[in-house]
Amino acid sequence: DIQMTQSPPSLSASLGDKVTITCQASQNINKYIAWYQQKPGKAPRLLIRYTSTLESGTPSRFSGSGSGRDYSFSISNVESEDIASYYCLQYDNLYTFGAGTKLELK
Amino acid sequence: QVQLKESGPGLVQPSQTLSLTCTVSGFSLTSNSVHWVRQPPGKGLEWVGAIWSGGSTDYNSALKSRLSISRDTSKSQVFLKMNSLQTEDTAIYFCTRWGPPFAYWGQGTLVTVSS
């Protein structure tokens, strides 16, 4: 089974900051990584698929990059509506989520 | 539009069997796969298993011995059955359609394992 190590577990940011979350896979996942946003009491929302492809409706301040085993997700100019938890998902070989990152306001 | 909705008992006793139903609309089960994902309260997401468009299934290796996923295409329903439930199976259970990847989600249903 592929393991996904996501960090940090939590982030504190001010409005307008840039934040970055990383996920490292236990093996090459060939860019098959997606990023989800989840707000309390809601289902996850797909933001980015295949490393860097933004879903329709995802603001351009969200971005993703990476290759091989190492991937990152960034939010530039954090807005109040971005306060949520974020999860990576590998879908190269079955499916594994990262442990999540909780983004809070400083 | 694509919709998924989970239903089932909110409370299950330890060692008993959980049965959940995912009722879908806006797409065909014979053309799309449906997956189950769960989330213990306050914790992260865990892929549980899937039923593919052709009817074959895949399961999380940690749950495989206790899990069965099936479907009724005429009713647009997908079923999850998990036996020998323990308190650590307490979670919100979501059904989700492959996008790729998981692009459409139900609202989730909370299952509490308790006596």
pLDDT of B27 reads 96
| Separation CA B73–CA B89 (nearest Å) | 27
Q: Residue B100's pLDDT band (boundaries 50, 70, 90)?
A: confident
Asked if the model's pLDDT at residue B99 lies above 90, the reply is: no
Give how far A95 is from chain B: nearest CA, Å: 6
Least confident of A44-53, B18-27, B62-71, B93-102: B93-102
Mean pLDDT of A3-32: 98
Q: Does B61 touch chain A (CB under 8 A)?
A: yes
Q: Residue B52's pLDDT band (boundaries 50, 70, 90)?
A: very high
Q: Does A37 touch chain B (CB under 8 A)?
A: no
Residue pair B12/B80 in contact by the 8 Å Cβ criterion: no
Residue B5, both tokens: 């909705």
How distant is the alpha carbon of residue A29 from its chain centre?
15
User: Measured between CB atoms, which of B37, B100, B107 is closest to A91?
Assistant: B100
User: Measured between CB atoms, which of B60, B101, B105 is closest to A43?
Assistant: B105
Mean pLDDT of B81-87: 97
Amino acid identity of A2?
I
pLDDT digits (tens, 9 = 90+) for B55-83: 999 999 999 999 999 999 999 999 999 99
Contact: B47, A44; criterion CB under 8 Å: no
Contact: A49, B46; criterion CB under 8 Å: no
User: Measured between CB atoms, which of A36, A49, A98 is closest to B100?
Assistant: A49
Mean pLDDT of B100-113: 95
Q: Does B49 touch chain A (CB under 8 A)?
A: no
pLDDT digits (tens, 9 = 90+) for A45-99: 999 999 999 999 999 999 999 999 999 999 999 999 999 999 999 999 999 999 9
Asked if the model's pLDDT at residue B25 lies above 90, the reply is: yes
Catalogue the long-range contacts made by A25-31 (C-beta closer than 8 Å, 24 or more residues apart). Answer: A25/A69, A25/A70, A25/A71, A25/A90, A25/A92, A26/A2, A26/A69, A27/A2, A27/A69, A28/A68, A28/A69, A28/A92, A29/A2, A29/A68, A29/A69, A29/A90, A29/A92, A29/A93, A30/A92, A31/A66, A31/A67
Q: Does B45 touch chain A (CB under 8 A)?
A: yes
Residue pair A75/A19 in contact by the 8 Å Cβ criterion: yes
CA-wise closest residue to B96 among B87, B109, B85: B109
| Separation CA B22–CA A37 (nearest Å) | 22
